[in-house]
């Protein structure tokens, strides 16, 4: 039985579980929540991996890329590509939002909105440096962990031979986390089934009808961005066909969609990047945690753009060309400025609405279906992370050929 199960390709197991979860949710309705513990166990297991995986893998990545000039070039190219795709995403969002026939305006002026604690930009920047690295690790503050890990990796390279024992320890820690990750990922189909059965059973199709146009606009914009922008870039600059790329990243997209967690999808993303996209472990360990933190094409590009137009419509507030430019610019930069803040997508939307003077109360209406939207936003973000990983790796000669991968596996087994 187990032999037959593992003979099925990983992506087929995950896709089958997702479809079965949707069917179960529709069939059982609220009773499908009985399967939620399966999803909770899976989410807990992958969250367990995130902190040690990011910490060890990122340090190992930096110590392996000891050439500081190459590291700077990689960082610049990676961040620049993240910003470029975020700007394109905001333009796509504005275009789709402007073309949708929203219909009659709604009245939300009496809706109560829970106030959000939005930190000033200065607090976000100062919060990058952990006052206590151990506390940052314990509290899973991923942005602070990334900063600390980068500093440790740079210091190991600077110390040189005296830090060789620490370098070996970090390398061993990274390999151990890779092994644990492979174990946990075997739970993916069960977790996806539980999450989808619960989500569909809890929300139901009737709940989505009042906001069907808004949800449809988000999904359409995300799909266009994934297919045209990511697919085009990976074909032109990543030397990989559209079909190969999307078949390879499907497991990560499915986990991202069902879990709505970029950090939670990191283990699956790493597996896809290294095994399917042939990105070197060292670069994948650098780009994927960074992407999960600052690459927000779905949350920071498409979502605020469409949501701002939608809220402006339901309040009957006209937007001019300057408003559209402010929305695009703010949506792009907000993905960096609010990184690591809980409820990132809503915080980004709040920032965008404030810039163009739209009422924040409109967020309450959108929040009713935020989970459904967040699933697609996260799948978009993860797709972008993997596209950037493949493109930059190809341009910088950081792809592992099959022969190299086999040799590396053989050396590890010895």
With bands split at pLDDT 50, 70 and 90, how would you rate the model's confidence at 329?
confident
Question: Residue 65 has what pLDDT?
Answer: 63
How far is 124 from 338, CA to CA, in rounded Å?
A: 7
Q: Which domain holds residue 277?
A: 10-413
What value does the mean pLDDT take over residues 185-196?
Answer: 82
Q: Which of 163-172, 192-201, 302-311 is least confident?
A: 192-201
Please tell me the pTM assigned to this model: 0.69
**Quick check: is 281 in a domain?**
yes
Q: What average pLDDT does range 364-379 have in this prediction?
A: 76
Asked if the model's pLDDT at residue 45 lies above 60, the reply is: yes
- What pLDDT is stored for residue 357 in this prediction? 79
The better pLDDT of the pair 55, 185 is held by 55
Q: How far apart are CA 185 and CA 393, in angstroms?
A: 24
On whether residue 4 sits in a domain, the answer given is: no
* 58, 285 contact by CB (below 8 A): yes
Query: Is the pLDDT reported for residue 335 higher than 70?
Result: no
Q: Which of 148-157, 251-260, 308-317 has the lowest mean pLDDT?
A: 308-317
Q: Which residues contact 364 (CB under 8 A, 6 or more apart)?
A: 108, 111, 112, 113, 114
Within-domain flag for 3:
no
Output the pLDDT for position 108: 41
Residue 338 phi/psi, 5-degree rounding, is -110, 15
CATH of the domain at 356: 1.10.3860.10
Q: Is residue 5 part of a domain?
A: no
pLDDT at residue number 105: 46
In 3D space, the residue among 298, 296, 291, 294 whose CA is nearest the CA of residue 273 turns out to be 291
The number of folded domains in the chain is 1
Window from 62-71, 369-378, 405-414 with minimum mean pLDDT: 405-414
Q: 40 with 192: CB under 8 angstroms?
A: no
Mean pLDDT confidence for 388-397: 93
217-228 confidence digits (pLDDT tens)? 999 999 999 999
Counting every residue written for the chain, the total comes to: 414
2 in a domain, yes or no?
A: no
Q: Phi then psi for 195, rounded to 5 degrees?
A: -65, -45
pLDDT per residue as tens digits for the range 66-98:
556 677 788 888 888 988 998 899 899 999 988
Percent of the chain with pLDDT over 90: 20
């Amino acid at each position: 039985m187990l032999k037959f199960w593992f003979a099925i390709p990983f992506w087929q197991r995950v896709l089958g579980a997702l479809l079965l979860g949707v069917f179960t949710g529709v069939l059982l309705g609220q009773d499908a929540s009985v399967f939620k513990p399966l999803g909770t166990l899976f989410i807990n297991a992958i969250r367990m991996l995130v902190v040690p995986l990011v910490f060890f893998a990122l340090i190992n990545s930096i110590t392996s890329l000891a050439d500081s000039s190459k590291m700077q070039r990689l960082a610049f190219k990676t961040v620049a590509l993240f910003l470029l795709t975020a700007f394109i995403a905001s333009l796509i969002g504005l275009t789709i939002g402007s073309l949708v026939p929203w219909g009659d305006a709604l009245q939300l002026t009496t809706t109560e909105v829970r106030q959000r604690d939005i930190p000033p930009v200065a607090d976000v920047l100062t919060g990058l440096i952990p006052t206590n690295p151990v506390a940052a690790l314990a509290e899973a503050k991923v942005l602070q962990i990334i900063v600390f890990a980068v500093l440790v990796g740079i210091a190991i390279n600077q110390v040189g031979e005296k830090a060789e024992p620490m370098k070996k320890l970090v390398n061993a820690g990274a390999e151990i986390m890779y092994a644990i990750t492979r174990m946990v990922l075997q739970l993916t189909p069960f977790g996806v089934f539980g999450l989808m059965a619960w989500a569909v059973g809890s929300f139901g199709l009737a709940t989505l009808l009042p906001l069907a146009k808004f949800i449809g606009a988000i999904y359409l914009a995300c799909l266009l961005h994934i297919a045209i922008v990511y697919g085009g870039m990976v074909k032109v600059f990543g030397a990989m066909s559209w079909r190969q790329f999307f078949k390879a990243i499907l497991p990560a997209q499915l986990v991202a969609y069902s879990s709505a967690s970029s950090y939670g999808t990191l283990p699956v993303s790493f597996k896809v990047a290294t095994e399917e996209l042939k990105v070197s472990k060292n670069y994948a360990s650098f780009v994927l945690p960074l992407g999960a933190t600052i690459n927000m094409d779905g949350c920071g590009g498409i979502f605020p753009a469409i949501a701002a137009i939608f809220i402006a419509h339901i309040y009957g507030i006209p937007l001019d060309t300057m408003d559209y430019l402010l929305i695009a610019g703010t949506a792009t930069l907000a993905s960096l400025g609010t990184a690591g803040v809980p409820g990132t997508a809503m915080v980004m939307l709040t920032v965008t609405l404030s810039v163009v003077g739209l009422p924040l109360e409109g967020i309450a209406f959108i929040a009713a279906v935020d989970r459904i939207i967040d699933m697609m936003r996260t799948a978009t973000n993860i797709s972008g992370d993997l596209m950037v990983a493949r493109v930059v790796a190809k341009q910088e000669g950081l792809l592992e050929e099959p022969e190299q991968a086999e040799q590396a596996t053989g050396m590890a087994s010895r």
